């Protein structure tokens, strides 16, 4: 007989979520912030998801706890535990190094609850050190995906270049940037 410990127990055997209290929310938020950098809006979403899950189990209205979550996030912003500008700059720098386009970065950060102005400001601050940040990111993306000069085998399929251009286009780069990245030669 073998026990498979990787499987989740059936719903009737799972541990019941704790009842929501101010102390519980505080501990959950601090634990989350220890593990992840986040924006204020994303922290609010995560905490409200916990509240909804617990309230659904204990049959209590979740709206009663929304002011507690809002107060918690506001307090954390006031003391500096949550700082959207710092989060945005760090995330933009990380995504740029990974080879993400401005368009892809903006979409990801908007999903985390940041405003367009916060995202544009972070992009400006991170990109000011680079002459052509979009091209640098496109080259990093092509290198990571092994496209253009980093492909292992020469193109035999006539549509191969179009496929590589399309891959960079889907990553959010313009046709001109994608074409320059695929034609890049290291000196």
Q: Where are the domains of the chain?
A: 15-79, 84-127, 133-182
Work out the percent of the chain whose per-residue pLDDT is above 90: 78
- List the chain residues with pLDDT less than 70: 1-6, 9, 11-12, 187
Please give the Cα distance from 174 to 21 (Å, whole number): 50
The predicted structure's pLDDT at residue 143: 94
The predicted structure's pLDDT at residue 7: 73
The predicted structure's pLDDT at residue 176: 97
Radius of gyration of the chain (CA): 23
The predicted structure's pLDDT at residue 18: 87
Give the residue among 82, 83, 88, 81 at the shortest CA–CA distance from 102: 88
Please give the Cα distance from 75 to 47 (Å, whole number): 14
Please give the Cα distance from 123 to 116 (Å, whole number): 10
Q: What share of the chain is helix, strand, coil (3-state, %, to 5)?
A: 65, 0, 35
Residue 136: HSE in the Cβ half-sphere, 13 Å Cα cutoff: 13
Contacts by residues 46-49 (CB-CB < 8 Å, ≥ 24 positions apart): 47/72, 47/73
Prediction pTM value: 0.80
Residue 9, burial from CB neighbour count under 10 angstroms (0-12, 13-18, 19+): exposed
The predicted structure's pLDDT at residue 157: 83
The predicted structure's pLDDT at residue 156: 82
């Amino acid at each position: 007989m073998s026990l498979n410990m990787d499987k989740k127990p059936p719903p009737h055997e799972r541990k019941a979520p704790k009842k929501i209290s101010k102390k519980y929310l505080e501990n959950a938020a601090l634990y989350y912030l220890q593990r992840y950098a986040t924006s204020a809006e994303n922290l609010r979403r995560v905490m409200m998801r916990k509240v909804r899950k617990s309230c659904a189990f204990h049959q209590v209205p979740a709206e009663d706890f929304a002011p507690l979550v809002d107060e918690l996030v506001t307090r954390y912003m006031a003391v500096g535990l949550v700082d959207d500008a710092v989060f945005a700059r760090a995330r933009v720098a990380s995504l740029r190094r990974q080879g993400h386009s401005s368009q892809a970065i903006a979409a990801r950060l908007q999903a985390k609850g940041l405003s367009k102005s916060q995202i544009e400001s972070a992009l400006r601050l991170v990109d000011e050190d680079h002459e052509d940040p979009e091209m640098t990111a496109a080259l990093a993306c092509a290198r990571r995906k092994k496209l253009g000069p980093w492909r292992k085998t020469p193109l035999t399929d006539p549509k191969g270049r179009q496929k590589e251009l399309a891959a960079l286009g889907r990553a959010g780069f313009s046709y001109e940037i994608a074409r320059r990245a695929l034609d890049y030669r290291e000196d």
